[in-house]
Amino acid sequence: MIFKESRPIYLQIADRICDEIQQQVYKEDERIPSVREYASMVEVNANTVMRSFDYLQQTEIIYNKRGVGYFVAPTARKRIMQLRKELLFKEDLPEFISKMKALGISVQEITEAIELLVKD
């Protein structure tokens, strides 16, 4: 896996796992690879993956069955969508609007561009 320097690696791994859940690579109530297996898959230290799993468990996307492993939470897909929407409105949209203002782009120009993109 290729990582970006702009975001912590454990969050990038968490995003990848969320993508895999959304694509149903891992289904609800299904076991996901162990920390060591996943660390091997993405070629990082197991502690980094453990941090990703802790984050996903805190956000109620996965849960741990002691001695068995980690599983996808029953409401994981819905929770992922909720968290990603929150991130879009709290971080991405304000940054986008800031860039828009700096470039002197009007709301109407953005609306027209969005309408063109949505048609395709």
Per-residue pLDDT tens digits for 52-103: 999 999 999 999 999 999 999 999 999 999 999 999 999 999 999 999 999 9
Q: How many domains does the chain have?
A: 2
Q: pTM to 2 decimals?
A: 0.84
Q: Are residues 68 and 103 in the same domain?
A: no
Closest CA to 78 of 97, 59, 93, 99: 59
What domain range includes position 44?
Answer: 9-76
Looking at the domain assignment, is residue 82 inside a domain?
Answer: no
pLDDT at 49: 98
pLDDT at 5: 87
Pair 43, 1: CB distance under 8 Å: yes
**Statement: residue 11 has pLDDT above 90:** yes
Q: Are residues 72 and 15 in the same domain?
A: yes
Q: Are residues 61 and 33 in the same domain?
A: yes
Q: Are residues 70 and 13 in the same domain?
A: yes
pLDDT at 22: 97
